[in-house]
Amino acid sequence: MQCLEVKGIEKVFGGLKAVSELDFSVEAGSVYAVIGPNGAGKTTLFNMLSGAYIPTSGSILFNGVEVAGLSPHKIASFGITRTFQNLQIFWNMTALENVMVGCHLKGSCGIFSALFRLPRMMAEEKHLAAFASEAIAFCNLNDWKHVKANAMPYGILKKLEIARALAAGPRLILLDEPAAGLNDTETAEITGLITQISSQGVTVLLVEHHMGLVMTVADRVLALNYGEKIAEGTPHEIQNNRKVIEAYLGQNS
Amino acid sequence: MKRAVFFFSGGLLLALGVCFPDNYYLTVTGVAILFNAVLAIALNMLLGFAGQISLGHAAFFGIGAYSSGISSVHFHANPLVGIACGVVFSAVLSYSIARPIFRLKGHYLAMATLGLGLILNVLMVQAGKWTGGPDGLSGISKLSVAGFEVNEDITWYWLMSGFTVFTIWLSLNLEDSRTGRALRAIHDSEVAAKSLGVDTSEAKAQVFMVSAALSSLAGSLFAHERGFISPDSFSFFFSIELVTMVIFGGMGSTYGAFIGAALLTALPELLTKFEDLEVMFYGAILMGTMIFMPNGIAAPFGTMATKLCTKILRREVNDAMS
C-alpha cells in the first residue's frame, strides 16, 4: 500500500523552479531517502509535504487524502510530523517539555482548563507526560529528561527533535538531515534509531547527505538535482546510476 | 518549587497587610504596585510566554476603566455590570482582531499593536460626551458588591492582594499546561510548533484574549479605586511602561513580571530625594540592569532555584541507584 503519493508537484520562487514536476510514491512502512546536491530542492520538497510551503501545482496524497496546501498543524493532525535541518528546538524548555509539545495533538484541554487547573486537565497532563516519557526512552534520552534544551550538546538535540516528532504518533515522519554535523558514533546511533522507528511501523522519509547512512537504512532512494528527479530505485541501483554520479562529482568523472 | 514561592508571596502580602495596616507606602504605593503587577503578569502571558509583543496593552486597561466609569457615572449601574461589560468587550475585541494582527511578527506586530492602543486612546479623548474627554471622568462610585463596600485604603490593599495572587495562580497554571507549552513553543520556534500540530494563530488569539480580559478587569477596579479617570492613564506611555516592567523583571517568568512591576512602580518614590536627577537615575538603573542582567532582575533567582532543584533531583537519582 502507498502511504504517500506525490504527483506533478512543483514549487516556483519568483521564476526559479525549486522543485519541478516531481512524482514519487512511498510504500507504507518503508524507509525512503531523498538525496541530491545542495540546492537540489530537498528541503523545499519537505516544506511542501509538511505544509510550510504551499505547492505551486501538483498533488500530495497521504493515505488517499489530499494534503497539498493545507496548513502545517492540519497536516500534523493527519499524521505527518518532521524534524528540521537547522535545529528548531524549544530552547527554554526541558527535554520532557519539548517532547510534550510533540504530544500536543494527543490532548484536547484548552486555555480555560489550563488557567483554572481543572481535574480533567491534570489527568490529561499525566497522560501526556507518560506518552512523552515513552518517546524519550525510545530515543535513549532518559539522562536528559529534565535538562533544559539550551544546556544540551548538539548530538542530543538532534535526537530530541526526533523524539519530539515521534511523540505525536505520526504515520509518516520526515527527517531532514538527521545526521548532519554528527560524528561517526552519533551517526551510527541515528542509523539504529531510524531502523527502530521503521520497525515500529512508522513510514520514514529522509533527506540525508551521509551516504553510508542512506545505503544502510533506505529501502528506496530518490535522487534530485536542480529540482528534478534524476533517478529513483534501490540504494544499489542509485549507487551505480550515471546521472547520480555526474550530479555529485561532475560530468568528466 | 514555583508553588512554594507562590505560598510565600501570598503569605508575604498577608503579613504586610496585617503588620502595617496604616502605612502610607503599603496602602497607596502598595496598591499601585499591585495594579501594575496584575497588568504585567497579564502582559507576560502574551509577551513572556508566547513571545508576542503588544504596545497597546494600556488600552485594554482603559476599556475596563471607562466601561466601569461610564456605567457608574451615566447609568448608575451596579459595579458588576461595568466590570462585566469591560471584560466581555475587551475579550471580544482582542479575540476578533488577534488573527490579522498576530499574523505579523517583530517590528510589524509592534506597530500594529501600537496603532490599536493609539486608536482606543484617541476614542477615549474624542468621545467626550461619554468619557469626559481629555478632562477625564469623575464621580465614579465606590466599589460595592452585595452591600459590602470597598472604601478604605487597607480594604483596597486586601482586594488587590487577592486579585494579584489569583492572577499569579492563573499564570503559573497556564505556564505548566498543554496550552502554556504550546505558547512557549511559539516563542522559541513557531515553525516547529506548527509542525507538531499546534494551531498557532488560535493559541495566540486565546492568550491575547485572556490577557486583555484580565487587564480590563484591573482597569475596572482602578476606576472604582480612584473615582476619577483620564485618558492619560491609558496612553501609549503606560503601554511602554508595562512592557518595560515585564522585560526588566524577566520575560517569561510570572514572578519576574511581579518583581518588575514592584520595582519600577516603587523606584520613582525611592528616587524622589534626588529631585531633578530622579529621571536620570531611573534611566541609568534600567540601562544598567539590562546590560548586566539581560534576562531580567528575577533571572538570577530563577537560575539559583533551578540549580538547587537539579541538585536535589540528582541526589534522589543517586539514592535510587545505590
SS3 state at B144: strand
Chain B residues whose beta carbon lies within 8 Å of the beta carbon of residue A82? 195
Residues of B with CB under 8 A from a CB of A: 170, 173-174, 177-182, 184-185, 187-189, 191-200, 203, 206-207, 210, 252, 306, 310, 313
pLDDT-based confidence at residue A57 (cuts at 50, 70, 90):
very high
Asked whether the beta carbons of residue A146 and residue B313 sit closer than 8 angstroms, the reply is yes
Instruction: Dig out the grid coordinates for A41 from the structure.
Output: 530542492
Which range marks the domain in which residue B196 is found? 2-270
Q: What is the pLDDT of residue B44?
A: 97
B200 confidence band (pLDDT: 50, 70, 90): very high
Cross-chain residue pair A121–B184, CB shorter than 8 Å: no
C-alpha cell at B197: 500540530
Top residue of B99, B171, B188, B195 to mutate, by most chain A CBs within 10 Å, is B195
Helices assigned H by DSSP within A168-249 = 184-199, 211-217, 235-239, 242-249
Question: Is B88 within a domain?
Answer: yes
Check A90 against B192: CB less than 8 A apart: yes
Q: How far apart are CA B167 and CA B275, in angstroms?
A: 35
Q: Which residues of B touch A126 (CB under 8 A)?
A: none
pLDDT value at position B12?
A: 87
Cβ contact (<8 Å) for B185 and A93? yes
Out of A186-200, B88-102, B122-136, B288-302, which region has the weakest mean confidence (pLDDT)?
B288-302
Question: In chain B, which residues have their Cβ closer than 8 Å to the Cβ of A104?
Answer: 178, 181-182, 196-198
Q: Work out the pLDDT band at B22, boundaries 50, 70, 90.
A: confident
Instruction: Count up the domains in chain B and report the number.
Output: 1
Domain of B217: which CATH number? 1.10.3470
B265-292 per-position pLDDT tens digit:
999 888 888 888 888 888 898 899 889 8
Find, in chain A, the residue whose alpha carbon is nearest to that of B193. Answer: A101
Banded pLDDT at B312 (limits 50, 70, 90): low
Question: In chain A, which residues have their Cβ closer than 8 Å to the Cβ of B197?
Answer: 73, 76-77, 81, 104-105, 168
A95-102 vs A119-138: helix crossing angle, rounded to 10: 110
Say if B248 falls within a structural domain: yes
Taking CB atoms within 8 Å and a gap of at least 24, the contacts of B92-99 are: B93/B63, B93/B212, B94/B60, B94/B205, B94/B208, B94/B209, B94/B211, B94/B212, B94/B213, B95/B205, B95/B206, B95/B208, B95/B209, B98/B201, B98/B204, B98/B205, B98/B208, B98/B209, B99/B201, B99/B205
In a domain, B228, yes or no: yes
Percent of chain B with pLDDT over 70: 94
Residue B151 scores a pLDDT above 80: no
In a domain, B256, yes or no: yes
Kindly calculate the radius of gyration of chain A based on its CA atoms and give it in whole angstroms. Answer: 19
Residue B314 has pLDDT above 70, yes or no: no
Name the closest residue on chain B to residue A167, using Cα atoms: B196
Rounded to a whole number, what is the distance in Å from the CA of B126 to chain A's nearest CA? 36
Q: What is the maximum span of chain B, computed from C-alpha positions, in angstroms?
A: 76
CB contacts < 8 Å between A and B, how many? 113
Q: Is residue B291 part of a domain?
A: no
Between CA A1 and CA A246 the distance in angstroms is 33
pLDDT of residue A249: 76
DSSP secondary-structure letter at A4?
E
Please say whether the beta carbons of A196 and A138 come within 8 A. yes
**Whether pLDDT at B307 is above 80:** no
For residue A26, what is the enclosing H or E element?
A: strand A16-27
- H-type alpha helices, chain A: 42-49, 72-78, 95-102, 111-115, 119-138, 154-167, 184-199, 211-217, 235-239, 242-249
- Does residue B322 register a pLDDT over 70? no
In whole angstroms, give the CA distance from residue B8 to residue B179. Answer: 26
ipTM of the complex: 0.92
pLDDT for A158 equals 95
Q: Is residue B125 part of a domain?
A: yes
pLDDT band for A73, please (50, 70, 90 cuts). very high
Pick from A30, A10, A36: nearest CA to A232: A36
- A159, A83 contact by CB (below 8 A): no
pLDDT band per the 50, 70, 90 thresholds, residue B13: confident
Residue B118 has pLDDT above 80, yes or no: yes
Q: Of the segments B129-143, B157-171, B297-311, which one has the largest average pLDDT value?
A: B157-171
**The three three-digit cell numbers of residue A132, written as one number:** 512523552
B178/A71 CB distance under 8 A: no
Total-model pTM: 0.92
Cell numbers found for residue A10: 512543483
Residue B46 domain-assigned (yes or no): yes
Confidence of residue B313 (pLDDT cuts 50, 70, 90): low
Task: Find the mean pLDDT for residues B208-231.
Answer: 95
* Span B305-322, average pLDDT: 63
Look-up: residue for cell 483620564? B230
Reported as a single tens digit per residue, the pLDDT across A122-175 is 999 999 999 999 999 999 999 999 999 999 999 999 999 999 999 999 999 999
